[in-house]
Amino acid sequence: MDPKIRQDALEAIERVIEILKKKEDKDILELKELSNHTIHNASIFQDECSVSLAVLVYALSKIMARYPQESYEYKEMLNLFLVEKDNLENDNEKGFNDAMKRLFSLISKIDSKLELYVQEVINNAQIKKGSKLCEHGVSCAKSAEVMGISQWDLMDYMGKTKIIDYAPGVDLKSRIKFARGLFS
């Protein structure tokens, strides 16, 4: 596993463990924010570990939002995340993957909508990648086509970010001077 991916995964897992240990009202919100971060990583690295972790964190946030803590095996979930952390720290990729499979199995037992979560995470990653293409000068239509998403989804996401507001290179005075030069 790439060291950068391992480090990002380790940081995300450590954050999940902190959240699960605290048991506060804001846990769901923190997990959603962490999910967005892991989805961003999945869109950048496009590796199995990042995508799986993004899905796992997203699914966990959904479970915690929908079900009371007593309805799922909270301690077992925490223990599996601790095992994942230990395996990553010791560069045990097989152990990490086994713990990941057990976590997915546990989540599947709790919530049968896991497949929907996978699709949503992948779709969000495609949208973020499409916005990065636009950032590099590719049209919105072409970016959406390349990523296999709708222009509406891409424009909706970009409208919520500062991507469109960023125009490097020419300052306002130079633009005005150029425009005046065209009409004089």
Q: What is the per-residue pLDDT across 101-147, written as a single tens digit (0 to 9) for each?
A: 888 888 777 777 766 776 676 677 778 777 877 877 778 888 888 77
Structure tokens at 28: 């769901």
Output 108-112 pairs: Cβ under 8 A, ≥24 positions apart.
Answer: 110/63, 110/67, 110/71, 110/72, 111/59, 111/62, 111/63, 111/66, 111/67
Average pLDDT over residues 176-181: 84
Report the domain count for the chain.
Answer: 1
Largest CA distance in the chain: 74
In 3-state terms the chain splits into helix, strand, coil percentages (rounded to 5) of 80, 0, 20
Q: What is the residue-averaged pLDDT of the chain?
A: 79
> Does any domain span residue 179?
no
> Does any domain span residue 178?
no
> Does any domain span residue 141?
yes
What CA–CA distance (Å, rounded) separates 160 from 167?
16
Average pLDDT over residues 14-35: 83
Helix axes 74-89, 3-22, angle to 10 degrees: 150
> Does any domain span residue 129?
yes
> Does any domain span residue 180?
no
What CA–CA distance (Å, rounded) separates 149 from 146?
8
More confident residue, 59 or 102: 102
> Does any domain span residue 176?
no
> Does any domain span residue 39?
yes
Range of the domain at 59: 3-159
Average pLDDT over residues 65-82: 76
